Structure formats: structure tokens, C-alpha cells
A and B are shown apart, each in its own frame.
Chain A
Amino acid sequence: MYADFDLVIPETLDEALEALAGAVGGGNGGTQPLAGGTNMIVDLRARRVAPSRLVGLGRLDGLRGIRIADGRVRMGARTTMSDILRHPDLAGHAPSLVDQARVFGGQMVRNAATVAGNICSGSPAADAVPALLALDAEVTLASPSGTRVVPLSEFFLGYKRDARAPGELMTEIAWDIPPAHSSNRFYKLALRKGDAITVVGVAVALAAEDGKCGTARIALGAVAPIVKRATAAEAMLCGQALTPELIDAAARQAVDDVDPIDDIRASAEYRRHCVHALTRRLVTQAWERLT
């Protein structure tokens, strides 16, 4: 490969944090973490980034794996999409996350790509993000000076900008297991069924209380500079018994919550159309499961 950089492969998290300390976010000239490589190597080859040093995380086995205990799911940052598919329990309470993993790239990419790598790519089309946003996930950021937990909903600051301080490494993604009367769904609309970049990604999570919608989460991918929640639409659903009319109105509201662009895959107009159609469909399906 043409790109020129140093590569260090630490054996422990502390070594990794040490190596990353002072790293400049954004990529050029600085130090960057390297996990599955499915974005980084492509960007290096395309010269979209030119770090002078990469810190390979492949030996940090402690960062890989899914632990479910005490009502909480804790996912190591290096957990791969295939790990999500293989896990015996996730499909039960986080089908949205499992469904996104199924349509995440091809098998080889799923075997390598990590959840944290997907989140930190900053791509508005990152498929793991809508599902995790709708699950109210939090991320743990570590540096030699300690760790902090940031809600994923506050992690993205703008297109390819996030809350990581220079040198901070994402080590864990965690969320509470959704309550019993809840349902979550994900759908990826793309121009091909296998291994394609998302045109519109929609994740919905609903919880029911006394026949009404208790909490509602609608997260939308590839329709704004960042993956974002349709909070106004969510608010319309909370505390209501959901009718087709209300769901449709909320889905229309979701369209106002996004700001899609025209690109080679689709027009902004079509993306808005699909935000409406898919939000309505997923909320309806999630609600049907609860009633």
C-alpha cells in the first residue's frame, strides 16, 4: 500500500491509551486507533486520511465480547458485527441491533468491523448507530487520565465530529435491557440487498405502559449530517395509544426532523419519502408487537 505510517500493536489497554495519548482526532499527521480496518484501510488507500501512526487494537481481547448482567448489556468496543450475530440472547431483546448486523457489509467485513469502529467512523450511514441510539446506549471513553461515560445521543457533534477528546479511546458500549413490554426494529433501505451503503436507515424502539406508548425512540440514518433521533416525532407518540393516524402524523414529523442531501444514491426528496414510509411501518410493527 502506498500510505506510509508507523504501526504499533500494544498488548494491554494501558499501553494502547499511552500510545494514543495526545492523538489528534481527524486523522492527518496524527495517531489513530486501528480496529477492524474496514474503514481505515479504505480511507488510507483513498488518501482520505494520512495518519503518521496507527495503534492496532487487535490484541486487546478484553475489549471484545458481550456481557449481559444485572439488566445491562455491556459490549466491548472491539465486538464485531459477527459477534453480535452469533450471540444467543441479543436477538431476543435487541432485534434491531441484530438486524443491522445482518445487513452490515458482507461476511468478511462483519467478521472484522467493530461496533466502536462503526460509531467512530462518523458516517451518517453507519448502520449500528440508529439501533444503538434507539436503545439509549452509552459509550465509555478512556484515556490515561481515566474514563467517562457519554450518552450516544450526545456523542455526535457534527459531520465526522464527535465527543472524543484527543487520545480518548472508546472502550465500551452499554445499554439497559429494554423492559418487558417493549419492542425495537431496524430497517435498512439500500439500492441492493447485500453489502450496500444505506440510503435510509430507521431504528424504532417503543415501550408500552398501560396500553399506551411509554417511551418512543426513532433514530434515522443517512438523512442528516449525523445519525439523529427524531425527537419531535418521538414526543408525539409518548403517552398516547397509537392509532394509524397518529403514527402517520409522527412519521410525517420525523421527515421534518431530518435534513437529507441529494447524492448519487438518492435524492433528498426520496429520502424524505422513505423516512415517512419506513418510520410509519416500523412504529406500526413495533406497536403491533406490544398490543
Chain B
Amino acid sequence: MAETKTIALTINGRDRKVAAPANATLLETLRELGYFEVKSGCEKGDCGACAVLVDGEAIDSCLALTWTVAGRAVTTVAGLSLGGAKHPLIEAFEKSGAVQCGYCTPGLIVAAQSMLKDTPEPDDDDIRLGLSGNLCRCTGYTKVFDAVRDAAAVLRGAESQA
């Protein structure tokens, strides 16, 4: 049996001590802790449903062993809106109709957030590139492109006011 140890993680802004075996993936650990918004879709990095931010950068949580992210900040879609206001990406996904079955949505939003950090003013091809690791079977991505562009504009506005 793999060794279990307790590691420190900051999850959605909250510092937590988490007991995890050596062979636990971050996906397994997060869902074990009740972060059910992190979805399992393929467990091999093909679909992006399990994407979370680690120190602001999106990764597939199914491909990260929990111990390897010790001490780092993990953010799920539910942690994006901390501080009360709904995150502009979430708002835009809702308003644009970019959500259908919704299973891929948390991963898409997380990946979009990570992509916008590098590319704050994306065109459609930037968005395609940023989201090519997130499979969606319902939307055909058209409204996802709309949502990410709308959110990017809102985020740039917030940035310039700050």
C-alpha cells in the first residue's frame, strides 16, 4: 500500500491540511474532499474536464499527483468568484449560452482563465488554442468563443480601472 502523508494545500483560498496517499491524483483528492465541481472525464489528460488552476496556471488534475502540488494554491471554478462578485467568465458563460450539459464547463472556465492571463485580448484563434485541451460535445464551441471574448473585455476593463 502506498504511503499516506499529510500535506498543506490552499484550496479556493482556504488553507487545508490534506491526507493523501502517494498514488493519489489531485483529481481524486479534490473530489474526496467534496470539490465535486472538478469532473472526471477521461483520467488521461485528453478531455480537460478536471482542469484546475495551480498557482494560476491550468493543469489537468488527473495527471498531477497530489503530493507534487504541496504548498501551492489550487483553484477550482467554484473558487474563481471569491470575494462576492461573480467572476466575469462565469457570468459570460451563463449569458452567452455557452453551457449545455455543463459537465465540461468547470474545466473550460478554468482553462479560459489561465489562457487570459497570457492572452488578455484574445481573438478566436487564441481562444481555440487555449481551449484545445477541453473537449465539449454539446456546444460546438461557438458560444464559448463569445463568452471568453466577452469576459476578456470585462476583465480588461476591470484591469484598466484598477
Contacts and interface: CB of A to CB of B under 8 A. Distances in A.
Chain B residues touching A, range: 35 or more
Nearest to A80: B57
A54 B69 CA distance: 15
B159 interface: no
B128 A37 contact: no
Interface stretch (B44-52, B77-85, B93-101, B148-156): B44-52
A123 to B, nearest CB: 14
Nearest to B28: A1
Interface in B1-19: 1-3
Most chain B beta-carbon neighbours within 10 Å: one of A9, A41, A56, A82: A41
A253 B114 CA distance: 44
Contacts, number: 109
A45 B43 contact: yes
A112 interface: yes
Q: How many of chain A's residues touch chain B, expressed as a range?
A: 20 to 34
A41 B63 contact: yes
A290 to B, nearest CB: 27
A267 interface: no
Contact of A86 (B3, B69, B118): B118
Nearest to B43: A45
A82 B133 CA distance: 13
Contacts of B58: 107-108, 111
B65 A37 contact: yes
Interface in A88-113: 102, 105-112
Nearest to B46: A195
Contacts of A54: 65
Contacts of A195: 46, 132-133
B6 to A, nearest CB: 14
A67 B104 CA distance: 37
Contacts of A37: 63-65, 68
Interface of B: 1-3, 22-25, 28, 43-46, 48, 51, 57-60, 62-65, 67-70, 111, 114-115, 118, 128-134
Given A7-B22, A106-B45, 15 more contacts: A2-B23, A4-B1, A4-B23, A9-B67, A38-B63, A41-B64, A42-B44, A42-B63, A106-B131, A106-B133, A107-B129, A107-B130, A107-B131, A111-B59, A112-B59
Interface of A: 1-7, 9, 34, 36-38, 41-42, 45-46, 54, 56, 58, 82, 85-86, 102, 105-112, 193-195
